[in-house]
Structures are given as C-alpha cells and as structure tokens.
Amino acid sequence: MKFFVDTAEIDQIKELNDLGMVDGVTTNPSLIAKSGRDILEVTKEICDMVDGPVSAEVVALDADDMLAEGRKLAKIADNIAVKVPLTWAGLKTCKTLTDEGIMVNVTLCFSANQALLAAKAGATFISPFIGRLDDINLDGLELIEDIRTIYDNYGFETNILAASIRSANHMSDCAKIGADVATAPPNVIKAMANHVLTDKGLAAFMADAKKAGIKIV
Ligand code: G3P
C-alpha cells in the first residue's frame, strides 16, 4: 500500500519524505488554509520535493470554472493530481481532465455508487473518507471493502485512496482490505511506530545495559 501524507506543511512532509515514507501528498482547501500559504506557491514547493502525485483541490462548483482551475493547477508540475469533488460537475471535469492526460483525484466519496461513477469517468484516484463515515456511526472500512470488490469485479484501474484516516489502526486495516493508497496526517503515520511492548522491552534492555556497563561507541 502506498502512503500519501495528508498535509500542506512543508517541514512535516520533508521529515517523512527523507525517511522514504512519502509516495505522494494530498491537500484540500482546509489544509491549504491551515498552512497560511498561497495555494500555487505551496503546491509547487511540495511538487518539487516529492516524486509521487500531489493532489491539489479546485474550489469552483460549476464544471467550466472547475475545468479552468484544474488546468491551471495541472500546470504547476507534472506530478499534480487535480482534486475534484464527487458532484456531477466534478465528474464532468474528471472526464475532461483525464482525456487531456491529467491525473484526477475524485474526493468526498461516501458511497460505493459514487466510487463506481468516478471509475467510469476515468479517475486516477477515488478518495473515500473513512473517518467522516465513522463519525456518523457508519462503517468507513466497509466502504473501502465494497469499492475494492466492485473495482476488482470489473477491472477498473482507478486507485482506491483511503482518506480521512484518523488512527494507526485505520492504516493496517486499509492495507488488509487492499486499498491502493492511504493518505494520513503526519502524526498518524508516526503513531504507526508505537507499541507499548516496544516501550516496555526497550526500558528493560536499557536498564540491563546500564547495569552491565555496556558501551558501544
Ligand atoms: O484527505 C481528506 C482528509 O483530509 C479529510 O480528513 O480528518 O478532515 O476528515 P478529515
């Protein structure tokens, strides 16, 4: 499973990218607003740093304006994936941009039917939002499973990009189900390293090393 990092914070992307943990980046208008940066400038900086796809989201609602914004975002770099919402206008924009050879990430997906439409429109990525479904007592992981089944049944090449990931467990759950990509905030990716038994074992090893006076360098 590929790891995308879900942030527009350059320092945090760099730290994970230097460790080889970043296969791509996703942003959205909320994350750009949080960064306090200009969307075109910060997106260019991210694209220069990261080899994989960098999702940059349109803010228009009608198809013509979305298309103009998508084409402008796509000019930032070759690794831009234009992010469009799962609306009828978004699907139209997806089809046109895909036909022009531009990667498209269709976002705000909350149902298997929406994912089916995005695949038909040629999306490179579909972004089902797991956490926001869990927030309203629905099952986000079940949606990932359903989309995996549907895409595999018909050989759709659209990549399942699990989004709105809130915990380290979500990451391993998505990998078990067969999501192609999971995008998570940096703190969630880092939390994947944590285990209480690792902490406990390390404390015991350190105590014994100290007692025995073990020195290596
Ligand atoms: O990639 C979409 C993601 O940023 C949404 O996450 O936590 O705002 O639901 P969240």
**Residues 153-184: pLDDT tens digits?**
999 999 999 999 999 999 999 999 999 999 99
DSSP at 77 = -
DSSP H helical ranges for the chain:
10-18, 29-35, 39-49, 63-74, 88-99, 112-120, 130-135, 140-154, 168-177, 186-191, 196-212
Q: Which residues of the chain have pLDDT under 50?
A: none
The active-site residue, picked from 44, 72, 83, 190, is 83
Q: What is the pLDDT of residue 154?
A: 98
> Which is nearest to 163 in space by CA: 22, 17, 26?
26
What residues are in contact with ligand 1 under a 6 Å CB criterion?
6, 26, 28, 127, 129, 131-132, 163-164, 183
The pTM of the full predicted model, rounded to 2 decimals, is 0.96
34 is catalytic: no
